[in-house]
Structure 1
Amino acid sequence: MINLNIKEILKKIDWQDPVWQKIKEEILDLNQRIEDSKEIESLLKGFSGGYIPAGPSGLITRGRDDVLPTGRNFYSLDPYRIPTKSAYEIGKRLAEKLIEKHLNEQGRYPENVAIFWMASDIMWADGEGMAQIMHLIGVRPVWFGNGRIKGFEVIPLKELSRPRIDVTIRVSGITRDNFPNCIELIDEAIQKVASLDEPPEANFVKKHALEIMDKTNKDFRTGTLRIYCSMPGTYQAGTQLAVYASAWKEEKDLAEVFLYWNGYAYGKGIWGEARHKEFAEVLKSVDVTYNKVVSDEYDLFGCCCYFGTHGGMTAAARHLSKKEVKAYYGDTRDPENVEIRDLADEIRRVVRTKLLNPKWIEGMKRHGYKGAGDISKRIGRVYGWEATTQEVDDWIFDDIARTFVMNEENREFFRQNNPWALEEITRRLLEAWERELWDPAEDVKKALKRLYLEIEGWIEESMDEVKGEFQGGSIDVVTSEEVEYWKSKMQEALR
């Protein structure tokens, strides 16, 4: 093991060297701006109605040191500068790597990539994902001299050297509500590409537009609808709610919930129109579903929206297309070395580096009740990914059970701080087992049900004289088939 003595290293540096002088100045400047951060003071000033100077927001881990000093009244960005020129270059590489991966694995180009376009792409990464979408369909941004977006131009097929890849985009509610100009620009580009005088085999956007027009007997505008979200004024993808409520029996149920919630089209001149049938048609041609990570500060277990949307879209595409649909995950944490990996590999990466990392676990335990609850939430999202995509390895569930339920020290932590969190973890594991989403190892099978009864006993003791019904370890599965109103609303939207 290398023992780095920072003080000794600093002594050996020639601070008269111009390069080191510049580095020293930058370090001192950063340090001063950190020292000048006045978060508590600004908070109190805001409470008393005082003025708080404005400042930019962003991820310092992505080189945004202009966010220092913190404690300012931060603003986001100018949405009319998205994507930036540097983000466009990263987006191009993402698009090419995605195409290359699919070509190597499947022996053909992907015809349609279904993308979960989150606001974090715009607010944290300056529109890398937006640029990726543009390069997939074969257009590029055109900027004014001041960096603002003027529009786009079509990349000729000869220069592109490949077919134009179609896209199906599920935008997040925050993207929809805060960046309508970005949505409209992409929508215009899709319409333009679909109208090009090119053979369908070289232009999958056009190919699928013609197919949708033929199947629905509707116009060109209908054939080019590619951007969808939940109903205006609503958020979430619906799928995560069904998963958490155990309101599904098979992939078909989750696919229908996803379609029902997200079949509202957005674009220039169309904002939140119910277009469930068209959404279903475009999902049938999807070959790959996709999202990406931009920072180690956030990951695909950080919110239920990740599996609810990306996972729900994967379930819907697989069910509707009746074919294998790949699930990919991009990685631009290091913009110099972007990667495209399988969703299953991304799940493994985050499980190893965080969820099952002893240092991470100990850090969460320091937060007592809240830490226990957050561990439970993340494990619930692991289950959500398996429910929607079946991309979680059995060993992951085995190790979750061994680490949090079967480990006596950790079990005692939950008992003292938040037994309800451990009950939720164990119940989700039992549900995964009962649904045959997971085949537990023998030692886990022997321990899990016994320990669940023990945990249930803790809770009963803590409830004392509280009366009423409790869910307990049973999983009551209810779908739209059992609820007439729900069933009729689903049928009305999806017919």
Structure 2
Amino acid sequence: EAWLAASSFAIDAQGASHEARAALESRVKSADSFVHLQDLPETDLLMASDYAAHEAGFAAAVARLGGDKPALYHMDATRPDAPRARDLTEEIARVTRARAANPDWATGMMRHGFRGAAEIAATLDHLAAFAHLAAAVPPHLFDLYHDATLGRDDLVAFMEGANPQALAALRARFQALHEAGLWVTRRNSIAATLQVAQ
């Protein structure tokens, strides 16, 4: 509903905007694919909530309206001479492996104190939004992010000191994902931690 409400205005040839909810709903229900263009090289789809609100929000809108599940694509146009289109799940996996679950990124965030800890927790929030709205996150990516965050004693100690609220939010989000069935881990070591937390 949030995506539909935010997207339901059209601009005519004279530049005037008007509400066009019915036309939007008709177009959304008949869509067979959705492409989101990213042209900012300094960001990725797990760095801000806007990506999930828009890309996954569209998928949630289609589901709400009863349309067929469309193909979701993330178009990387950071190099205009060589754009790359990837399936949304593929792009999420690429970003999770290259940045979010990369130990160097988390170590770098530790140099930023309070704000770095907040970024670590926010990255999981963004990953969770893609899972919730578009079912676009396979469980093994949550396993990777769990290993890269709560699986690191030094990172947990850092977050405890620099931003205990972010650490609590990180733990709560992993638990909520598990309880909602959005993340079913096959890793006994992780499952044991979640059972202890219940």
User: Structure 1-normalised TM-score?
Assistant: 0.38
Gaps of 5+ in 2: none
Partner of 1:257: 2
Matches of 1:449 and 1:272 in 2, distance apart? 52
Which of the residues 442, 445, 448 maps onto 2:191?
A: 445
Q: Which residue of 2 aligns with 1:300?
A: 45
Distance 1:433 1:272, change over 3 A: farther
Deviation at 1:407, TM superposition (A): 2.2
- Alignment-mate amino acid for residue 29 of structure 2: K
> CA–CA distance in 1 between the matches of 2:102 and 2:61?
33
After TM superposition, give the deviation of residue 295 of structure 1 in Å. Answer: 4.1
- Residue 120 of structure 2 is aligned to residue 375 of structure 1: yes
Q: How many residues align?
A: 197
User: Which residue of structure 2 lines up, in the alignment, with residue 337 of structure 1?
Assistant: 82
- 1:365 paired with 2:106, answer no
The answer for the alignment partner of 1:324 in structure 2 is 69
- The amino acid that maps onto 2:80 is P
CA-based RMSD of the aligned residues comes to 1.9
Which one-letter code corresponds to 1:369 in the other structure?
F
- Whether contact under 8 Å (2:106, 2:148) holds in the other structure is no
What fraction of aligned residue pairs are identical, expressed as a percent?
25
Cα deviation, 1:334-366, whole Å, max 9, x if unaligned, reads: 333322110111111111111111111111111
SS of aligned partner of 2:149: helix
Change (3 A) 1:264 1:439: same
Give the CA deviation at 1:269.
4.2
Q: For 1:262 and 1:293, how far apart are their aligned partners in 2? A: 18
In structure 2, C-alpha distance between the alignment counterparts of 1:318 and 1:395, rounded to whole Å: 24
- SS of the aligned residue for 1:405 comes to coil
Higher RCO structure, 1 or 2 (CA under 8 Å, sep 6+)? 2
Q: Structure 1 stretches of 5 or more lacking a match?
A: 1-255, 454-495
Q: What TM-score, normalized by structure 2, do the two folds share?
A: 0.90
How big is the shift at 1:270?
Answer: 6.4
Q: Counterpart amino acid of 1:445?
A: A
Q: Is 1:354 paired with 2:116?
A: no
Which has more radius of gyration?
Answer: 1
Are residues 1:390 and 2:139 paired?
no
Aligned partner (choices 147, 162, 184) of residue 417 of structure 1: 162
Gap change, CA 1:277 and 1:335, over 3 Å in 2? closer
2:23 is equivalent to residue 278 of structure 1: yes
CA shift at 1:271, angstroms? 3.6
**Which residues in structure 2 correspond to 1:44-123 (within 5 Å)?**
none
Given residue 311 of structure 1, which amino acid in structure 2 is its aligned partner?
A
Secondary structure of 1:305's counterpart equals helix
| Conserved 8 A contact 1:401-1:448 | no
8 Å Cα contact 2:103/2:148 also seen in 1: no
Q: What amino acid is aligned across from residue 427 of structure 1 in structure 2?
A: A
- Which consecutive aligned stretches of 4+ in structure 1 deviate over 4 angstroms post-superposition? none
- Residue 267 of structure 1: CA displacement? 2.6
Q: 1:36-56 CA distances to partner (integer Å, 9 max, x unpaired)? A: xxxxxxxxxxxxxxxxxxxxx
Quick one: distance in 2 between partners of 1:270 and 1:435?
44
The answer as to whether partners of 1:406 and 1:447 remain within 8 angstroms in 2 is no
Amino acid at match of 1:407: R
